[in-house]
Amino acid sequence: MMELFLVTVGCFLAVVGFAVLVETPGKYLLQAGFAGACGGGVYFFGMQKGLDTVPACFLSALVISLLAHIFARIFKAPVTVFLIAGILPTVPGAGMYRAVYYIITDDRARSSYYLIQTLEIAGVIALAVFIVDAVFRIKIPRRQEKDRS
Amino acid sequence: MDDKSIANMAVLAGEIMLRSGAETYRVEDTIKHILDTAGTAETESLVMLTGIIVTIDRPGQEAVTVMRRVHERGTNMHRIVEVNEISRKYCARELSAEETWEKLKRIKGKQYTVWMYNLATILVPAGFAPLFGGGLREILAAGGAGIVLAVLMTIGKRVKTSAFILNILCAVGVAVAAVLLKLWNPLLNMDTVIISGIMPLVPGVAITNAIRDTLRGDYISGGARALEAFVTAAAIAIGVGVGMALTTVFWQGGGL
């Protein structure tokens, strides 16, 4: 429990930091951090409960893109603003680095394991982003029609 | 405003967004909205990762076409949000064309001080250390790697090297810092420190945008961004590898 708390707080701070690096306007920093913290927390919780990395990443990406879309609707800002910084805990940076690390240490079996895992995670993130995108795109025309009528 | 000015305005808005790392379909949407608000009959916009083409065609007149090549791209959410707000107001006719042009011209790039960026660069690795299984020791070490990274990035921005070289140099810095810290304190989990340290460099923006562009059917831009992500990833990996190999050669016992 203590670890989960530490991870969530760490992800919040890290995502806020990354949001500053990509010049997110000050008023959206905390929301982006919140989305990132939730994503990181879900990922770590899933791993603690014995989920594999790839499903854990899927759940985490799903939560993050859902939050990003909700925030975008509430605060009238593009989805990218919350999504780019928020998705960072899930993006397969670690797997990519390990793939190359094991190439250097001449361990091809582990290297290809991590390479394929990286591709899987990227695909799973794509799937999660796509699902949420599709769900929210169904809603948009209905709202506009209501506005017009 | 005549067609030419409106086309110029739409291209300016699109250029700012494309330079700031907006998704391609969003840029096309914004341009299309701006052109349609002006009441032009036949409008078309084609946006790729590297350029914009806009055409306005009125019946009985010669078509106006504006093309713009976009060379450098970064990520700047502030400018995307600003252009979004301005174009939204313009399309709701709260702003006149002239005011919109002025406002687009006046959008600023940076909004935080250099110290804020450096602090953020240190905060990202330190914050991610627990996620990759680090304790207090790793958090501090990752913060240390972050300081090295912040220094290198600040220098790199002054010197204006290409992004590829800068990524390699930054990754080398992180790897060297991690190996040296490991030598100083053998209990340290070097893996965690390096992975946390390279997080500010990881091409998360490019990967996310590549996915979103591809899923919207913009295959040229999606593919280009995926390649961009791969090149950045390769640069970081080369950098980490070189950094670890260098320290192994010069300080026996560290590294691999």
Flag if A87 and B128 touch (Cβ within 8 Å): no
CB contact at 8 A, A121 and B208: no
| ipTM value | 0.83
d(C-alpha A90, C-alpha A11), whole Å: 11
At residue A99, does pLDDT exceed 60?
yes
Q: What is the DSSP letter of B211?
A: H
Same domain flag for B178 and B147: yes
User: Is residue B256 assigned to a domain?
Assistant: no
**What domain count does chain B have?**
2
Domain extent for A102: 2-148
Same domain flag for B14 and B82: yes
d(C-alpha B35, C-alpha B23), whole Å: 19
**What domain count does chain A have?**
1
Same domain flag for B52 and B174: no
For A43, which residue in chain B has the nearest alpha carbon? B131
pLDDT (tens digit per residue) in A1-24: 788 888 899 899 999 998 888 888
Same domain flag for B93 and B128: no
Which residues have a Cβ under 8 Å from the Cβ of B253 and sit 6 or more positions away? Answer: B183
Whole-angstrom CA distances from A112 to A42, A56, A99, B216 are: 27, 20, 7, 30
At residue B252, does pLDDT exceed 70?
no
Same domain flag for B41 and B154: no
How many other C-beta atoms lie within 10 A of the C-beta of residue B95? 17
Contacts of B128 in chain A (CB under 8 A): 10-11, 14, 89
Q: Which of B80, B105, B130 is the last residue of a domain?
A: B105
For B67, the 3-state DSSP assignment is: strand
Q: B195: distance to nearest CA of chain A, Å?
A: 6
pLDDT of res. B77: 86
Contacts of A65 in chain B (CB under 8 A): none
Same domain flag for B185 and B160: yes
Q: Which of B73, B105, B137 is the last residue of a domain?
A: B105
Domain extent for B245: 114-250
Same domain flag for B26 and B62: yes
Arithmetic mean of pLDDT over chain A: 84
pLDDT of res. A149: 39
Q: Tell me if chain B has a CB within 8 Å of the CB of A82.
A: no
Same domain flag for B87 and B118: no
d(C-alpha B172, C-alpha B244), whole Å: 8
User: Is residue B255 assigned to a domain?
Assistant: no
Same domain flag for B129 and B38: no
pLDDT of res. A59: 92
Same domain flag for B81 and B147: no
Same domain flag for B144 and B242: yes
Amino acid identity for residue B177 in this structure = A
Same domain flag for B147 and B231: yes
